[in-house]
Amino acid sequence: MVEQVRKLLDKKLKNTGELEKLRQAVLDKRDTSRITVSVCGGTGCRASGAEAVVEAFAEEIEKRELQVKIDFKETGCHGFCERGPIVVIGPKKIFYQHVQPEDVQEIINETVLQGKVVKRLLYIDPATSEEITYESDVPFYNKQTRLILGANGEIDPTDIEQYIAAGGYSALSKALFQLNPDKIVNEITSAGLRGRGGGGFPTGRKWQSCRTAKGDVKYVLCNADEGDPGAYQDRSILEGNPHSVIEGMIIGAYAIGASQGFIYVRNEYPLAVEHARIALEQAIDYGFLGENILDSGFNFKITINKGGGAFVCGESSALIASLEGKIGEPKSKYTHMSEKGLWERPSLLNNVKTWANVPLIINKGADWYSKIGTAGSKGTMIFSLVGKINNSGLVEVPMGITLREMIYDIGGGIPNGKKFKAVQTGGPSGGCIPEQFLDTHVDFDELTKIGSMMGSGGMIVMDEDTCMVDVARYFINFLKGESCGKCVPCREGLAKMSDILDRITHGEGKPEDLDTMMDLAEILSAGALCALGRTAANPVISTLKYFKDEYMAHINDKKCPAGVCRELIQYSIDPEKCTGCGVCARACSMNAISGEKKEPHVINQNMCIKCGVCYDSCKFGAITKQ
Amino acid sequence: MTKYWVDGEKTIDINEADDVNSVCFTVDDKDVVVSGGQTILEAVQRTGIANIPALCYHPAVRPYGACRLCTVEVSEDGGKNFKFVASCLYPVKEGMIVKTSTEKVKKLRKGIIELLLARCPNTKIIQELAEEYGVEKPRFSVGDQDCILCGLCVRACQEIIGKSAISLVNRGIYKEVAAPFYAYELGEGCIGCGDCAFVCPTGAITMGDNGKPVLPRVKIPYAEIGAMKSEEKLLASQG
């Protein structure tokens, strides 16, 4: 026990000199001749079986006593989730995709021991059909600027020494000893960093007002309550590089004079919670948190608070209510949180991505940072590129990149040769952007101009088979379920809007419904209490603006042009094309298809439940959907 | 131009009140001087200068901002830009311009009343507001509830009585006022003071024969099921 305590105390870095010494020691210990094998342990890759791959590697390395030769680690999310589980072999970074446990022996035998490439595991560029060996040559990666996510693939998030070796906590020591709080705030301000949680509020201004706010006790908060469908950037950062967030928070706390911080993280992100917890413990052990941090006289500690599953708790005032132990409902923000926030005290709340940007800015300087991006939006933004797209995954790009570059160059375009229809950005309360705006430069202001928003960086791509009315219905329904129910416009308005959209998708829409929905949208944007309600009508407003003809088809012709809304479609068999093979009849669970062998079959419309199994099963394209 | 100085119930000439912490602003083109630290709604109600409807506001409890009927337009840059704010929460500020019944504000209130009427078509106060704002028949599906979830009962029980015997539970359209664990009858936490029934603007809470309030029931299946005893659940499931 005494030994353990002593060991614990020994780890504590007493000043910056010791930090630099430790960094050098870790680097010196590294044998550059060793082959690095990093398996992506992000949530996406875990879902496709990365844990078994990790186990297989660990077993194989132990069995064959290869520890000396191989530097093996499970890292955070590499971003290219579509191709998971991903294994990258260093130092040259050979990129293997869809790796299964049975591939592990071959990778060790061929690549690790003989330096040969296992061709069948390589990524094949769909555009050129060429095999790509190295990670940096994969088009998905080489068009990105991975300032924040880059380290995810390099370090084991459960080992603070790897973060330190990669330059971690040097920004903290710079902030504590070379800068002062005012200079830190100035750096953040002149870097032009804007809040990555969605609002895009200038971070420096927020820090400044919190710094000047009166109060002995101030708080620093990290918003990791990411709840947008299809978005998982915050999760990946907290899972893959939790120390970058913690370092940012310590710097922020020093700048505004806070001694307590909170990370409010979704309970539905167990790995993020676990990695944040481990990181906090290690940061305490190494003396980056606690009393007299690196002998600067500054004290700071961080507590993790797990959310209770409400989307609205990502809204700052609801998050604070939840932290205080109250019902997670938003309050009006007529007094700024930087003056009266958590427990009525000045509080600095930033998103995970915003915090992760802080060490970068402090290390490399505001001048360097402000050169990246557009006039109004600086730095990079992480998007989760999902939906009908070839390369779904996490993408980090400089602000100002066009939607077309993101979707076609990085995302690899739309699968199966389908046509692009729209991209929904900014989470459920964002808008759907049609093809004519594909050359829009993505930043906070440009997206707002075309009726959408940056939000927390969700980007859902839709193809010609997506029904825009159904999309609006889905998002409104989601928001209806997540509305806290405090104010009338959001609670009642979204419920009524969802009723109307349900009716339209069921073929019971009336022409006057569109005006009613626009009226509801106005009530929401003008009258709702919080940002969730005020922006909730965006999916309806943007689809009505750009895809009104689809609404009209549903209402007037009782037809769903994309063939999605079940009540409005009919499957039938083209007797010219039907060979009478009977595959569809066997697939139909309702026995609605009948016909003689080798004769054209027919669908009994009264029995058909429009599941679409016949449509998918027919090899001759004889089944039509109208 | 008339100037009001309002402190409590006394209306005095502005010149007599020079030395007090006062805020001067405009409401519907009239200059108003009031003591600082209050909200627009408080100031307007005390001066009687305009009529702002509000259902979730009561001077005895902290403002909540749920009904949004008290929304007004406010400009803090001399009339260049106006924004919608809930007047029950927005503090008075020097030089601000408040407009309590512009066309935009009226349209917004009308919309909110239409939504409330769809929820509570048989409630007198909502019917009166509907008549005032010219809402005839809601364009939406109509419910049959009395409670508008203004939260006054919950706030009164917590802030004035200090009991917190009832609370708002669930979220969105499933939100409702309930006793702990969805008990049908209020237990020992409730002292039967009747404060909740008194502040309720719609009469959705009444006092029962046992001297304790009867809470409004939101007719949704799972809350009902949640309130059922296990044997009742069994009976219900057997049809």
Model confidence over A351-392: pLDDT tens digits? 999 999 999 999 999 999 999 999 999 999 999 999 999 999
Range(s) of chain B covered by CATH 3.10.20.740:
5-101
Residue type at B166? I
Q: What is the Cα A486 distance to its own chain's centre?
A: 28
CB contact under 8 Å between A485 and B71, yes or no, is no
Cα nearest neighbour of A486 on chain B: B66
C-alpha A195/C-alpha A273 separation (Å) is: 22
The yes-or-no verdict on residue A176 having pLDDT over 90 is: yes
CB contact under 8 Å between A526 and B112, yes or no, is no
Interface test with B, best of A496, A497, A506, A524 (most B CBs within 10 A): A496
- What CATH number does the domain located at B152-237 have? 3.30.70
Chain B residues touching residue A512 (CB < 8 angstroms): 139
- What CATH number does the domain located at A468-555 have? 1.20.1440.230
Chain A residues touching residue B116 (CB < 8 angstroms): 488, 492
Residue-wise pLDDT tens digits, A195-241: 998 888 999 999 999 999 999 999 999 999 998 888 899 999 999 99
- What CATH number does the domain located at A160-370 have? 3.40.50.11540
- What CATH number does the domain located at A380-463 have? 3.10.20.600
The yes-or-no verdict on residue A188 having pLDDT over 90 is: yes
Cα nearest neighbour of B85 on chain A: A527
Predicted pLDDT of residue B209: 87
Are A276 and A235 in contact, with CB atoms under 8 Å apart?
Answer: no
Measured in angstroms, the CA of A190 and the nearest CA of chain B are apart by 27
C-alpha A442/C-alpha A440 separation (Å) is: 6
**Cβ under 8 Å to A: B residues 112-131:** 112, 115-116, 118-119
CB-based burial label for A590 (10 Å; 0-12, 13-18, 19+):
middle
**Cβ under 8 Å to B: A residues 227-286:** none
Range(s) of chain A covered by CATH 3.40.50.11540:
160-370
Range(s) of chain A covered by CATH 1.20.1440.230:
468-555
Cα–Cα distances (Å) from B51 to A440, B35, B87, in that order, read: 47, 20, 12
C-alpha A277/C-alpha B131 separation (Å) is: 58
Are B61 and B152 in contact, with CB atoms under 8 Å apart?
Answer: yes
Chain A residues touching residue B108 (CB < 8 angstroms): 522-523, 526-527
SS3 A404: helix
> Could you tell me if B62 lies within 8 Å of chain A, comparing CB atoms?
no
Measured in angstroms, the CA of A247 and the nearest CA of chain B are apart by 36
Q: Architecture of domain A570-625 in CATH?
A: 2-Layer Sandwich (3.30)
The yes-or-no verdict on residue B221 having pLDDT over 80 is: no
Interface test with A, best of B125, B147, B149, B171 (most A CBs within 10 A): B171
Could you write out the three-class secondary structure of A477-517? HHHHHHCCCCCHHHHHHHHHHHHHHHHHHCCCCCCCHHHHH
Which comes out higher in pLDDT, residue A257 or B20? Answer: A257
**Cβ under 8 Å to A: B residues 28-47:** none
Range(s) of chain B covered by CATH 3.30.70:
152-237
Interface test with A, best of B68, B110, B125 (most A CBs within 10 A): B68
Complex prediction ipTM: 0.88
Predicted pLDDT of residue B231: 55
Are A254 and A300 in contact, with CB atoms under 8 Å apart?
Answer: yes
Report, as an integer, the average pLDDT of A442-467.
Answer: 91
Which comes out higher in pLDDT, residue A62 or B22? Answer: A62
Q: Percentage of chain A surpassing pLDDT 90?
A: 80
Predicted pLDDT of residue B188: 86
Residue-wise pLDDT tens digits, A613-625: 999 999 998 998 8
Are A585 and A542 in contact, with CB atoms under 8 Å apart?
Answer: no
Residue-wise pLDDT tens digits, B7-61: 444 455 555 455 457 888 999 998 888 888 899 999 999 888 899 999 999 999 9
- Tell me if the domain spanning A33-90+94-133 has CATH number 1.10.730.10: no
Q: In what order do the strands lie in the sheet with B97-99?
A: B10-12, B5-7, B30-35, B22-27, B97-99, B71-75, B83-86
- Tell me if the domain spanning B5-101 has CATH number 3.40.470.10: no
Measured in angstroms, the CA of B21 and the nearest CA of chain A are apart by 20
**Cβ under 8 Å to B: A residues 440-499:** 480-489, 491-496, 499
Range(s) of chain A covered by CATH 3.40.30.10:
33-90+94-133
- pTM value? 0.90
Which 8-state DSSP code applies to residue B144?
-
